[in-house]
Amino acid sequence: MENQWWKRAVVYQLYPRSFSDSNGDGQGDLKGVTAKLDYIKWLGVDVVWLCPVYASPNADNGYDISDYYSIMDEMGTIGDWEALKNGLHSRGIKLIMDMVLNHTSDQHPWFIESRSSRDNPKRDWYIWRKGKPDGSEPNNWGSFFSPSAWEYDEKTGEYYLHMFSPKQPDLNWENPDVRQALYNVIRFWLDKGVDGFRFDVANMYSKVQGFPEAPEFVPGSKYQFPIVHVYNGPRIHEFIQEMNREAFAGRDIMTVGEGPFVTPELALQYAGFDTHEFDMVFHFEHVIKGGLWTSFMPYDFIEFKQTLNRFQTTLYGKAWNSLYLSNHDQPRQVSRFGNDRKYLVRSAKLLGTMIHMQQGTPYVYQGEELGMTNIPFTRFDQYRDLDSFNYIAQSRAMGMPDDLILSALNRSSRDNARTPMQWSAEKNAGFTAGTPWIEVNPNYPEINVETETGDPSSVLNYYRRLIRLRKEMPVIVYGSFIPLMEEHPQFYCWIREYEGERLLVVLNFSDTDAGFALPEGITAGSEKRVLSNAGREKLNLGSDTIGPWEAYVCILE
Ligand code: ISL
Ligand code: CA
């Protein structure tokens, strides 16, 4: 069990559209990524997760696939992809691909056929339903990227289901031919030498058939997110086990399923050591507590700790955690959970320490290792994401004033995470010689790879240390997790324990000093420093003062 490579690995999530542009068209591409492989190697990560690069009209930046077997024009060619894969492999880095199997683009030939007539053989590959007798949608289901989850199709007089945008029709997983076609896709990429997959919304494949009305989720809204009908549906484990068996069992790969609304108990099933589903899941409980679009609200620190601690302790020895605060759908972590003004560097390091010292596989989202922040857009037309546009339209319809909408977007929009990677202090942060598809964050002259590489006290060099430590200390990979001071309003602390070795992690999540004392019942004579983000040499275990956003890690002796 302990020799699976993905347990010891650190994954780097790469959003290629915003990483590096090789030809000056303003969009990142595969050649751009290949040109930066020495940086990725130097960082020390073991795996790259590449967000979708398949053929796509890009309604949702590649999460709307029109051909699973080819590369989108803007990204390059299949030859460019091979060069990237070989470049990674020759450096000892694995490549995992993003797999979007819940839906396709409406431009996918399967859907074009499906919508062509009611008796087309591919009709049943998607989810078509008649409207209600009054002609309205089949039910009240709301989509994540538009009000209704149903789109009316004039030609055949029926509605199709799209849990995301109307350009992303949901596949009908009840149809075994659909499942086989998707397993072929997985096998194709495995045969090309990929080392695993991140499965997009992997707990949405099975929907409650009969399509009942959704209970109220957003009070008073005409359309409601059918959380209970589309997530963790009745056949979900059967489908995932079948996919595991038929498409990838026996291969030495890693799989991670994206799972909004996955509880620790469900994670035991999705990512159990012997459940034959995925190696791990991304749960969302610490980032969308209670629902969607909550990232613009201040978060509840105690609840945040409890949530993460519950995953840590419930999964230990039975299933594997994935560790993240950031990805391409979430605002920048230092802006949301840290202090991106007065304590930018300190709090960025503290958040990295939190992720890397917990039990599971850590994911670093591009730019996180620099301490990249949310972007201070002042106008709607600076935004690019369809989710942001949907939010603007729906909020305006509800009568919300524009300045409030803008301030919510500033804190929550997915575009915060999608601004170009900041390579240097040169024009456009060194991302492109042309005009970037989305504006570069104006803080790039200070926050960038080149400047931070040369600064031993940078966030970047701290991340390199975090990544290296995992290789050197088995307790970080395999240790159990013992939460401490769970009710403390400033501290997030825990102990990891493995083969008699104990690692103490002390994090002050606040702008003020906090008084530390090792809780009663925990005995230690002394401690030996492993890591500090504040130049601390020693910690007095009986009584000490921990500064704002200070992180300290030590071995208890
Ligand atoms: O971003 C969200 C809401 O603001 C999330 O609910 C997001 O839609 C959810 O995490 C699913 O995300 C994945 O599937 C989407 C795609 O847009 C995201 O980029 C992807 O990560 C549809 O494919
Ligand atoms: Ca380009």
Protein residue whose Cα sits closest to atom 22 of ligand 1: 63
Note whether residue 327 is domain-resident. Answer: yes
Protein residue whose Cα sits closest to atom 20 of ligand 1: 200
- Ligand 2: centre distance to CA 68 (Å): 21
Q: Are residues 222 and 307 in the same domain?
A: yes
Q: Are residues 100 and 113 in the same domain?
A: no
Q: How many whole angstroms separate alpha carbon 22 and alpha carbon 37?
A: 13
At residue 206, what are phi and psi to the nearest 5 degrees?
-105, 120
- pLDDT score, position 293: 56
Q: Are residues 229 and 338 in the same domain?
A: yes
- pLDDT score, position 219: 85
pTM for the full model?
A: 0.97
CATH code (residue 258): 3.20.20.80
Note whether residue 401 is domain-resident. Answer: yes
**CA torsion angle 364 365 371 376 (round to 10):** -160
Residues with CB under 6 A from ligand 1: 60, 63, 100, 144, 164, 200-201, 258, 260, 292, 328-329, 387, 414
Last residue within a domain, chosen from 430, 449, 467: 467
Q: Are residues 234 and 279 in the same domain?
A: yes
Which has the closest alpha carbon to 205: 245, 168, 237, 173?
A: 173
- pLDDT score, position 64: 98
The strands making up 158-161's β-sheet, listed across from edge to edge, are 128-129, 158-161, 150-153
**Residues 222-226: contacts with CB within 8 Å, 24+ apart?**
222/140, 222/147, 223/140, 223/141, 223/142, 223/143, 223/147, 223/148, 223/149, 224/140, 224/141, 224/142, 225/141, 225/142, 225/144, 225/291, 225/292, 226/139, 226/141, 226/142, 226/149
Note whether residue 167 is domain-resident. Answer: no
- pLDDT score, position 3: 76
Q: Where in the sequence numbering do the catalytic residues fall?
A: 200, 258
Looking from the CA of residue 164, the nearest atom of ligand 1 is 22
Q: How many whole angstroms separate alpha carbon 295 and alpha carbon 351?
A: 16
- Ligand 2: centre distance to CA 443 (Å): 23
- Tokens 């595969």: give the residue: 30
Reply yes or no on whether the pLDDT at 368 is more than 90: yes
| Domains of the chain: total | 3
For residues 469 and 9, the answer to whether their CB atoms sit within 8 Å is no
For residues 200 and 100, the answer to whether their CB atoms sit within 8 Å is yes
Q: Is the dihedral of CA 453, 85, 372, 364 positive or negative?
A: negative
For residues 229 and 138, the answer to whether their CB atoms sit within 8 Å is no
- Ligand 1: centre distance to CA 389 (Å): 14
Note whether residue 375 is domain-resident. Answer: yes
- pLDDT score, position 2: 56
Q: How many whole angstroms separate alpha carbon 79 and alpha carbon 537?
A: 51
Protein residue whose Cα sits closest to atom 16 of ligand 1: 63
Last residue within a domain, chosen from 433, 467, 501: 467
Q: Are residues 458 and 505 in the same domain?
A: no
- pLDDT score, position 150: 98
Note whether residue 448 is domain-resident. Answer: yes
Which has the closest alpha carbon to 546: 523, 521, 517?
A: 517
Reply yes or no on whether the pLDDT at 1 is more than 50: no
Q: Are residues 499 and 541 in the same domain?
A: yes
CATH code (residue 537): 2.60.40.1180
Protein residue whose Cα sits closest to atom 6 of ligand 1: 292
Q: Are residues 495 and 410 in the same domain?
A: no
pLDDT in tens, 294-352: 666 778 999 999 999 999 999 999 999 999 999 999 999 999 999 999 999 999 999 99
Reply yes or no on whether the pLDDT at 386 is more than 60: yes
Reply yes or no on whether the pLDDT at 458 is more than 80: yes
pLDDT in tens, 92-145: 999 999 999 999 999 999 999 999 999 999 999 999 999 999 999 999 999 999
Whose atoms come closest to the Cα of 432: which ligand?
Answer: 2
- Ligand 2: centre distance to CA 505 (Å): 42
DSSP state of 518: P
Looking from the CA of residue 327, the nearest atom of ligand 1 is 21
Q: Are residues 249 and 299 in the same domain?
A: yes
The secondary structure of 457-487 as a DSSP string is TSHHHHHHHHHHHHHH-HHHHH-EEEEE-TT
Contacts of 302 (CB under 8 A, 6+ apart): 486, 487, 489
Whose atoms come closest to the Cα of 17: which ligand?
Answer: 2
Average pLDDT rounded to a whole number, residues 216-226: 90
Last residue within a domain, chosen from 467, 489, 522: 467
The 3 state secondary structure assigned to 216-267 is CCCCCCCCECCHHHHCCCCCHHHHHHHHHHHHHCCCCCEEEEEECCCCHHHH
- Ligand 1: centre distance to CA 171 (Å): 16
For the record, the structure tokens of 462 come out as 């701290």
Whose atoms come closest to the Cα of 104: which ligand?
Answer: 1
Question: Is residue 289 very low, low, confident or very high in pLDDT (cuts 50, 70, 90)?
Answer: low
The secondary structure of 400-462 as a DSSP string is --HHHHHHHHHHH-GGGGTSPP---SSGGGGS-SS--SSPPPTTTTTSSHHHHHT-TTSHHHH
Average pLDDT rounded to a whole number, residues 213-228: 91
531 membership: H or E segment, kind and range? strand 527-532
Protein residue whose Cα sits closest to atom 8 of ligand 1: 144
The 3 state secondary structure assigned to 51-111 is CCCEECCCCCCCCCCCEEEEECHHHCCHHHHHHHHHHHHHCCCEEEEEECCCECCCCCHHH
Note whether residue 170 is domain-resident. Answer: no
Average pLDDT rounded to a whole number, residues 184-210: 98
pLDDT in tens, 31-85: 999 999 999 999 999 999 999 999 999 999 999 999 999 999 999 999 999 999 9
Residue ranges making up the domain that contains 151? 109-161
Over its C-alpha atoms, the chain yields an Rg (Å, rounded) of 23
Q: Are residues 400 and 491 in the same domain?
A: no
Q: Are residues 372 and 253 in the same domain?
A: yes
DSSP state of 326: -
Q: Is 291 exposed, middle or buried, given 0-12, 13-18 or 19+ CB atoms closer than 10 A? A: exposed
If you count DSSP H runs as helices and E runs as strands, how many of each does the chain have, helices first?
Answer: 17, 20
CATH code (residue 125): 3.90.400.10
Q: Report the residue among 201, 203, 262, 363 best suited for mutation to probe ligand 1: largest number of ligand atoms under 8 A from its CB.
A: 201
For residues 501 and 545, the answer to whether their CB atoms sit within 8 Å is no
CA angle 173, 329, 355 (to 5 degrees): 105
Note whether residue 519 is domain-resident. Answer: yes
Q: Are residues 347 and 495 in the same domain?
A: no
Note whether residue 168 is domain-resident. Answer: no
Q: Are residues 410 and 397 in the same domain?
A: yes
